[in-house]
Amino acid sequence: MNLSVWDPLREMEALLDRYGRPSQKALAKSDEKNFEVGDWMPVVDIYETDDDFIVKAELPGVDKDDVHVHIENGILTIRGEKRTETEDKKQHRIECSYGAFVRSFTLPQSIKTGEIEAEYKEGVLNLTLPKSEEAKPNQIEVKIK
């Protein structure tokens, strides 16, 4: 008979891993629309300047050729896959996320979709979405009498 020390935290980690990551692709509902869900979800920052919207997605370990950006019906979709090494190794702990990912964002109507620029450098995808002229802030000086 083998004796082992019970470690409740190890069991908790296993439980969180099992329920924290989807085992297969599924569809999630959001505002009456279906969005595809991947095996993991990269973090994304979205901010705005006077002329552009900037989308910054952190994709560590993802090859540039495995990242695809699409715009369809006013929805920006970033899709890709982080591949694992296929070598036969004894694994002690796997905390990095692997597999397919999908992130979708609704774009404002004021984007010039034909002029979107993308740059991928050191695992970070930067998208620049230029605003149309109507959407840019316009100051009007009002003369006081």
Residue 51 inside a domain? The answer is yes
On the 0-12 / 13-18 / 19+ scale of CB atoms within 10 A, 101 is buried
Tens of pLDDT along the chain (145 residues) come to 666 677 777 777 777 766 665 444 444 544 445 556 678 889 999 999 989 999 999 999 999 999 999 988 888 999 999 988 767 778 788 788 888 999 999 988 788 888 999 999 999 999 999 988 775 666 667 878 7
- In this prediction, residue 125 carries a pLDDT of 97
Give a yes or no: residue 100 inside a domain.
yes
- 6 lies in some domain: no
Q: Tell me how far apart the alpha carbons of residues 120 and 67 are, in angstroms, rounded to a whole number.
A: 9
**Per the structure, how many domains does the chain have?**
1
Closest CA to 59 of 39, 42, 77, 81: 42
In angstroms, rounded to a whole number, what is the distance separating the alpha carbons of residues 75 and 34? Answer: 12
90: in domain: no
pLDDT of residue 1: 60
- CB distance 131 to 53 below 8 Å: yes
Residue 63 placed within a domain: yes
Q: Residue 68 sits in which domain range?
A: 36-84+96-133
Residue 53 lies in a domain: yes
Structure tokens of 123?
A: 């695992």
Does this model's pTM top 0.85? My answer is no
In the prediction, which pLDDT does 12 show? 75
Task: Specify if 70 maps to a domain.
Answer: yes
pLDDT at site 103: 92
| CATH number of the domain to which 57 belongs | 2.60.40.790
Task: Tell me if 129 sits within 8 A of 55, measured CB to CB.
Answer: yes
From the list 78, 81, 8, 4, the residue with the least C-alpha distance to 40 is 81
* End-to-end Cα, the chain, rounded Å: 96
Let me know if residue 12 belongs to a domain. no
